Amino acid sequence: MLQYPNLEQALKYYFGYDNFRPGQRQIIEQALQNRDLMIVMPTGGGKSLCFQLPALLKKGITIVVSPLIALMQDQVEGLRDNGITATFLNSSLNSYQTRSREEAIINGKVKLLYVAPERLLSDRFLPFLDLVHHKVGISAFAIDEAHCVSEWGHDFRPEYRQLKSLRKRYPDIPTLALTATATDRVRGDIIQQLGLKQPSIHIASFNRQNLYYEVRPKTKYAYAELLEIIRENQGSGIIYCLTRKKVDEITSKLENDKISALPYHAGLSDEERSKNQTRFIRDDVRVMVATIAFGMGINKPDVRFVVHFDISRNLESYYQESGRAGRDGEPSRCTLFFGYGDIKTIEFLINQKPDSQEQLIAKQQLRQIIDYAEGTDCRRTIQLGYFGERFAGNCGNCDNCRHPKPVQDWTIEAMKFLSCVARTKERFGMLYIIDVLRGAKNQKIAQNEHDKLSTYGIGKDKSLDEWRMLGRSLLHQGLIEQTSDGYSVLKLNALSWEVMRRQRTVSIAVPVVQKITVEHGSEKAAEVEILMQRLRSLRKQLADEQSVPPYVIFQDSTLKLMAQVQPQTKAEFSKLSGVGSHKLAQYGDKFLAQIRAYRTEQGLSTKEDNSFPPSVNSPSDTELYTLQLHQQGHSITEIAKKRNIRPTTIVRHLCDLMEKNQPVDVNQLVSLERQQKIWQVLEVLGDISLTPIKEYLGESYSFDEIRLVRGKWRRERRKYPPGT
Ligand code: ADP
Ligand code: ZN
């Protein structure tokens, strides 16, 4: 095992990051001291690192309990791309794959094992776990999404309840519980249910500084505004709607407007859902239009905007859903379209609940999110206050802080509104009152002879939305009341009369029409953007070749740094945040080549880097000559002799030829039996550097053999990505 003088160096070596996020360092130190830990961090806080880095630094294997197959696969892919030996066991594997993975685990080749709780606790698996404990040593249990253990959480999973038995079976193995849940009740439940022993509890702030929060009135222009948000953004986004029907409707509208979008809701087959999800994660499609069925298990870090086209049921859900934006810490936007019609829909749904207590709670929660949406204070202050966290306000990154709403005197309008309620004898709801004020010609008004009232048509100067805003605000301020019998009839109270008698003025916060301002940056910014686009497409190409999501290769923040700094040597490249030792070796040359090509085109200076290979996708002359001799049936040694170059160079040629999809026949070079052995290890360890693979196979295998088989394996994976 490598020894690190300090944790920062280990962080850079394995993950490529220069600094710990708040809390991470202390947590990792305690994990290294084998303490039980309870880690509460918001989405994107960087929870995974808290058990991953200790797992690498400690002896033995860390078992990670994770509820969803998709989550496991994502994490394992990400780790492998950093050259870390991680693997998972779940129902998606066949028995052959399972066996070879188990073998690797027993041989101590794996540092992190991801597994679902039901498998972990099965009668078949426990004896295996004992064996692992005995032979390799279990360094820790990490329980991810630990709130699943609590019935009070939103994702309760009965299988999680049984995790307590792990504590009994292995009392001395430290346990880490990780969650993003914001409520006290669930946190307490986790500690108790998992039997954590005097855990060190870390609760990070729930403030997500990189997210811009805004609420917009849901007018008839809402869809146009949505389009504008999507068009002004480069990256991926999620649009949440309340119903399946709405999801389908918005998806097809977006398609009409040439936005690549896919739907996700419970009405689609499992297969279709997972296909759409994968396409979104891999950046094949930009926008996911979804009901709340789409959520947990999406740890795509580069979601740039989350739009709630319909309101969420409560503020905690809104926080979690909108929080799927910007996990990577880059600026991202959360927009909520707020319309009173949606509230009616949710109220209707609430009234369907059989339990009156539940109804009461749900209504109160609805009230809270309405307060948030209508609020004129800093959005962060309202949200964090709801979670019991005090925030000073004035965050500078929400609509209310950036564009404070002017408060206007609407006493005259309020008098018109209230007296219309009085004249119609307090027997109608808001919409009817507004119709009368605006002089609508409809049958009901005519029948009631309300077109003869003095208040008929006196409010034509204001739009329906404006009157509604006033009406809601009057309710909100307690200047009028509404029956809760399902009909929402407006009733006057003492304060209403004070307003009508001019004893009280009425002020309301009026939303200003918001224009999204596109920042017209300097020329330099435009240049960076062009290079960024190219780096993005290179990243996408590499990701597709390996059949992994693009962010596994490099995250947006790292690409951005590349485009800004424009490193020209490997040494410079390795300094970027997000470039660890493994990624430098794996991708450095390719990205450097792209940057150089760009600089050459722009007439900018370029430096020589001696380790630089030419970036061409068609074979060079010397490679073609090797191929020719290979196709004539010559062995590697023969070709080397003939050409008077080293055999290793010939092997390099052949591997590069395979990368370029040239017909190299590995069967001619490595025996089938040996190929099979190497192949098996690749399946277990993934596409990592040669040294650990060789270490695994033992002395009798040469680097050249492994390199050739890996070339073939990569080619197969390009053709038939796993899971197809
Ligand atoms: P969580 O599970 O808490 O939602 P993740 O563990 O997925 O968060 O981390 C969120 C993102 O932040 C990931 O893309 C991760 O690579 C990145 N990250 C984590 N720790 C650091 C760090 N110290 N420096 C930079 N990026 C980090
Ligand atoms: Zn604010």
Residues with CB under 6 Å of ligand 1 are 17, 19-21, 24, 41, 43-49, 299, 301, 327-328, 555
Residue whose CA lies nearest to ligand 1 atom number 20 = 46
Q: Which residue has the higher pLDDT, 432 or 70?
A: 432
Residue after which a domain boundary falls, among 343, 368, 402: 402
Judge if 25 and 109 occupy the same domain: yes
- What share of the chain has pLDDT > 70, as a percent? 94
Distance CA 292, CA 312 (A): 9
103: left (phi over 0), alpha (psi -120 to 50) or beta: alpha
Judge if 278 and 387 occupy the same domain: yes
Rg of the Cα trace of the chain? 31
Q: Per residue in 21-39, is it b (16+ CB within 10 Å) or e — as a string?
A: bebbbebbebbbeebbbbb
Distance CA 634, CA 18 (A): 49
Judge if 20 and 165 occupy the same domain: yes
Judge if 698 and 679 occupy the same domain: yes
- Given a contact cutoff of 8 angstroms between Cβ atoms, the answer to whether 161 and 149 are in contact is yes
- What letter would DSSP give residue 516? P
Of 17, 38, 74, the residue with max ligand 1 atoms within 8 A of its CB, to mutate for a pocket test, comes to 17
Residue after which a domain boundary falls, among 479, 509, 539: 509
The CATH number assigned to the domain holding 675 equals 1.10.10.1390
- What share of the chain has pLDDT > 90, as a percent? 55
Q: Which residue has the higher pLDDT, 153 or 55?
A: 55
- pTM equals 0.70
Q: Are strands 481-482 and 407-409 parallel, antiparallel or unpaired?
A: unpaired
| Class of residue 359 by CB neighbours under 10 A (exposed 0-12, middle 13-18, buried 19+) | middle
For residue 472, the model assigns a pLDDT of 80
Is residue 616, in this structure, part of any structural domain at all? no
CA 407 to ligand 2 centroid distance, Å:
17
pLDDT tens for each residue of 382-406 = 898 888 788 887 899 999 999 887 7
- Given a contact cutoff of 8 angstroms between Cβ atoms, the answer to whether 688 and 582 are in contact is yes
For residue 178, the model assigns a pLDDT of 96
Of 15, 77, 84, 145, the residue with max ligand 1 atoms within 8 A of its CB, to mutate for a pocket test, comes to 15
- Given a contact cutoff of 8 angstroms between Cβ atoms, the answer to whether 531 and 595 are in contact is yes
Judge if 564 and 677 occupy the same domain: no
Residue whose CA lies nearest to ligand 1 atom number 25 = 17
> Is pLDDT above 80 for 93?
yes
Give the residue from 331, 299, 310, 309 showing the smallest Cα distance to 235.
331
Judge if 573 and 661 occupy the same domain: no
Q: Which residues face 258 on adjacent strands? A: none
Is residue 182, in this structure, part of any structural domain at all? yes
> Is pLDDT above 90 for 420?
yes
Distance CA 555, CA 532 (A): 12
> Is pLDDT above 50 for 1?
no
CA 364 to ligand 1 centroid distance, Å:
34
Judge if 161 and 135 occupy the same domain: yes
> Is pLDDT above 90 for 672?
no
CB atoms within 10 A of CB 653: 26
Q: Which residues face 305 on adjacent strands? A: 237, 333
The atom number, within ligand 1, closest to the CA of 45 reads 3
CA 186 to ligand 1 centroid distance, Å:
23
The CATH number assigned to the domain holding 414 equals 1.10.10.10
Judge if 116 and 144 occupy the same domain: yes
589: left (phi over 0), alpha (psi -120 to 50) or beta: alpha
Q: Per residue in 64-95, is it b (16+ CB within 10 Å) or e — as a string?
A: bbbbbbbbbbbbbbbbbbbbbbbbbbbeeeee
Is residue 119, in this structure, part of any structural domain at all? yes
For residue 370, give Cα distances in angstroms to 331, 336, 480.
26, 11, 17
Q: Per residue in 573-609, is it b (16+ CB within 10 Å) or e — as a string?
A: bbebebbbbbbbebbbbbbbbbbbebbeeeeeeeeeb
Number of domain units in the chain: 5
Give the largest Cα separation in the chain, rounded.
107
For residue 519, the model assigns a pLDDT of 45
Mean pLDDT over each residue of the chain, to the nearest integer? 88
The atom number, within ligand 1, closest to the CA of 42 reads 3
Instruction: Specify the range with the lowest mean pLDDT, choosing from 461-465, 539-543, 616-620.
Output: 616-620
pLDDT tens for each residue of 272-296 = 998 999 899 999 999 999 998 887 6
pLDDT tier, 612 (very low <50, low <70, confident <90, very high otherwise) = very low
Is residue 514, in this structure, part of any structural domain at all? no
The atom number, within ligand 1, closest to the CA of 17 reads 24
- Residues with Cβ within 8 Å of residue 397, at least 6 apart in sequence: 209, 211, 212, 213, 380
H/E element, 115: strand 112-115
**For 4-116, where are the alpha helices, taking DSSP H only?**
7-15, 24-32, 47-57, 69-80, 95-106
> Is pLDDT above 50 for 87?
yes
pLDDT tier, 611 (very low <50, low <70, confident <90, very high otherwise) = very low
- Given a contact cutoff of 8 angstroms between Cβ atoms, the answer to whether 290 and 318 are in contact is no
Shortest-distance ligand to the CA of residue 207 = 2
- Given a contact cutoff of 8 angstroms between Cβ atoms, the answer to whether 275 and 319 are in contact is no
Is residue 615, in this structure, part of any structural domain at all? no
Q: Which residue has the higher pLDDT, 105 or 359?
A: 105
Judge if 223 and 308 occupy the same domain: yes
Is residue 262, in this structure, part of any structural domain at all? yes
Judge if 574 and 481 occupy the same domain: no
Helix (H, G, I), strand (E, B) or coil at 625: helix
Judge if 459 and 540 occupy the same domain: no
Give the residue from 343, 285, 604, 380 showing the smallest Cα distance to 476.
343
- What letter would DSSP give residue 720? S
Is residue 2, in this structure, part of any structural domain at all? no
Give the residue from 588, 648, 634, 641 showing the smallest Cα distance to 615.
588
pLDDT tier, 513 (very low <50, low <70, confident <90, very high otherwise) = low
Q: Are strands 261-264 and 236-240 parallel, antiparallel or unpaired?
A: unpaired
For residue 5, the model assigns a pLDDT of 56
Residue whose CA lies nearest to ligand 1 atom number 15 = 46
Question: DSSP string of 452-494?
Answer: GSTTTTTTTTS-HHHHHHHHHHHHHTTSSEE--SSS--EE--H
Is residue 382, in this structure, part of any structural domain at all? yes
Give the residue from 144, 205, 206, 203 showing the smallest Cα distance to 179.
144
Distance CA 634, CA 285 (A): 46
Distance CA 62, CA 715 (A): 32
Helix (H, G, I), strand (E, B) or coil at 616: coil
The atom number, within ligand 1, closest to the CA of 329 reads 12
Give the residue from 368, 351, 353 showing the smallest Cα distance to 484.
351
For residue 721, the model assigns a pLDDT of 62
Q: Which residues face 418 on adjacent strands? A: none
CA 20 to ligand 1 centroid distance, Å:
10
Shortest-distance ligand to the CA of residue 395 = 2
Residue after which a domain boundary falls, among 567, 601, 635: 601
Residue whose CA lies nearest to ligand 1 atom number 2 = 47
> Is pLDDT above 80 for 259?
yes
Domain extent, residue 364, equals: 211-402
For residue 51, the model assigns a pLDDT of 97
Instruction: Specify the range with the lowest mean pLDDT, choosing from 28-32, 57-61, 405-409.
Output: 405-409
> Is pLDDT above 80 for 298?
no
For residue 548, give Cα distances in angstroms to 75, 280, 281, 709.
11, 12, 9, 20
Judge if 170 and 53 occupy the same domain: yes
